[in-house]
Chain A
Amino acid sequence: MRTHELTLTLFGRTGHLRLSVGLLGLAVILILAILLAVAVVLAVIARRRAREAQRAQEELNQLNADLERHVAERTQQLQDANKQLESFSYSVAHDLKAPLRAIGGFSKILMEDCPSQLDEEAQRYLQSIVGGAQRMGKLIEDLLAFSRQGRKEMTPSDIDMDELAKSVFEELRSATPERKLECRLQPLSPARGDRAMIRQVWVNLLSNAIKFTGPKDIASIEVGCSPNGADQNTYYVKDNGAGFDMEYAGKLFGVFQRLHSGQEFEGTGVGLAIVQRVVQRHGGRVWAEGKVNQGATFHFTLPAEGNHHESQ
């Protein structure tokens, strides 16, 4: 009985022990299985995510490529359209010159060759025809110059603005020896751009300053510059001339836009449009301040010397 009990107990203990070991093993296996299952699930998820990410990336790449192609196509179309427009306006302006030469030319020939057959009134009419043809010729020339500034290839270099502004001013001064011109040239930082085109900017702005100070006894013109960050400079031309009403400041830079009549100040209204076109092609901007009869200041920005940022 004792033995039996003992055996039973032993057996019971052993059985318990065995049961415990068995349960433990089962638990471990279970845990391992769960871990394995979790790992497998995680791996599957990770793989799916990676695949999705890859697919998304591929789609994104495709979209980017499509977008780039579209942009390139549209840019090309725009450039083509722009070129067509430019060459259209060029050939229109160009072909207008021959008939205009005939209108002015033969009117003059009539006046020269047949003066006895023309009374005073007829002479006056012919004079108006000649004058009209001359003005139109000037408009066409200026329009062609404007169109040329838009089509010209640019060759950028570093430009000594002190020397350039000074030489332009001296040239303009020698063309108007009868005028009293005072010009203060402040030191100008060098710029980077197409020298011939930027020379044209100085010519147009300085000749405007000289023109619009015409009624003044002494024209006072100031040229200066301030750095505008590391890669841009702002230049200005200031005068004490006729000025303008700031209400119309937006019209200053339009082609053929004029704020003064031809009787007051001659011109076709293309000079400032050319200035704006050149400055914008260099990635800069141009603006003006003025007051009627109290002068005007024209500002423009250009890339600083050594700034190789591409412009159009």
Chain B
Amino acid sequence: MNPNELHVLLVEDNPDDVALTLRTLKKHHFINTIHVANDGVAALEHIFGATAGAPCIPRMILLDLKLPKVDGLEVLRALKADERTKTIPVVVLTSSGEDRDLAECYKLGVNSYIVKPVEFDDFTRSVSELGEYWLRLNKTPE
């Protein structure tokens, strides 16, 4: 069994959104390890490491778009441009439902795009459903 199988990377700068997302994912027993990166630089460092070595491959990446330093689109571009990381499912979880953000993400090869609902029940349902889908139903290459 792959030790990283249920390892998820959450890239999110808003501590409240981090807390709400973690609570939902934990409550629905999805995960053993969730690593939180608060900006794009921290996310890329977590994946590619400070030195050149084998990248860390989480089972799924939840990615916000509006991030300090390096934004979500740049992180997505870097992940999808690298042969070693391009197969990691990346789910964009953002407040933005703008056409241009959607178009840009899909051009870069995003696997899913979810607009964060404002309402808590809707938010909880979205996060638990995407966890169910990407961590239980969906198969990814070993």
Contact B95 A94, beta carbon cutoff 8 Å: yes
* A100 surroundings in chain B (CB, below 8 A): 118
Are A105 and B14 in touch, CB under 8 angstroms? no
Specify which chain A residues have a CB less than 8 angstroms from the CB of B116 in the assembled complex: 97, 101
What is the chain B residue whose CB lies nearest that of A152? B99
Q: Which residues 166-193 in A have Cβ within 8 Å of B in the complex? A: none
Count of residues in B whose CB is under 8 Å from the partner chain? 17
Residues of A close to B17: CB separation below 8 A: 98, 101-102
Q: Contact: A101 with B96, CB < 8 Å? A: no
Known: A94-B95, A94-B96. A140 touches B118 (CB 8 A): yes
- B14, B16, B117 — which one has the most chain A CB atoms within 10 A of its CB? B16
- Is residue A255 contacting chain B, with contact meaning CB distance below 8 A? no
- A130 CA to B16 CA, complexed, in Å: 16
B83 contacts chain A at the CB level, 8 A cutoff? no
CB distance from B36 to the nearest CB of A (A): 16
Interface size class of A (residues with CB under 8 A): 20 to 34
Most chain A CB neighbours (cut-off 10 Å) among B20, B118, B123: B118
Q: Which residue of A lies closest to B121 (CB)?
A: A108
- Chain A residue at smallest Cβ distance from B24: A105
Task: From known contacts A98-B17, A101-B17, A101-B20, infer whether A108 and B118 are also in contact, taking CB-CB under 8 Å.
Answer: no
Residues 19-35 of B at the A interface (beta carbon under 8 Å): 20, 23
Q: Is B97 an interface residue (CB 8 A)?
A: yes
> Could you tell me the distance between the alpha carbons of A186 and B99 in the complex, rounded to whole angstroms?
35
Q: Is the CB of A137 within 8 A of B119?
A: yes
Question: Does any Cβ of B come within 8 Å of A141's Cβ?
Answer: yes
What is the 8 Å Cβ interface bit string for chain A, positions 139-167, against chain B (1 contact, 0 not)?
01100100010001000000000000000
How does the 8 Å CB contact mask read for A96-133 relative to B, with 1 for contact and 0 for none? 01111110111011000000000000000000001001
A98 touching B20, Cβ below 8 Å: no
Distance between A147 CB and nearest chain B CB, rounded to angstroms: 10
A134 to B120, CA, bound (A): 9
Residues of B within 8 A of A99 (CB): 16
CB of B65, distance to nearest CB on chain A (Å): 11
With known contacts A94-B95, A108-B120, A140-B118, A101–B16 Cβ distance under 8 A: yes
> Contact between A141 and B23 (Cβ–Cβ < 8 Å)?
no
List, sorted by A's number, 21 A–B pairs whose CB atoms are closer than 8 Å.
A90-B98, A94-B95, A98-B16, A98-B17, A98-B95, A101-B17, A101-B117, A101-B118, A101-B119, A101-B120, A102-B17, A104-B120, A106-B20, A108-B121, A109-B120, A130-B120, A133-B119, A137-B118, A140-B118, A141-B118, A148-B98
Q: Besides A106-B16, A109-B120, A148-B98, 19 other CB < 8 A contacts?
A: A90-B98, A94-B96, A97-B95, A97-B116, A97-B118, A98-B16, A98-B95, A99-B16, A101-B16, A101-B116, A101-B119, A102-B17, A105-B16, A105-B20, A108-B121, A109-B23, A133-B118, A133-B119, A144-B97
Closest 3 interchain pairs by CB? Answer: A137-B118, A102-B16, A105-B120
Point out residues on B near A: beta carbons under 8 Å: 14, 16-17, 20, 23, 95-99, 116-121, 123
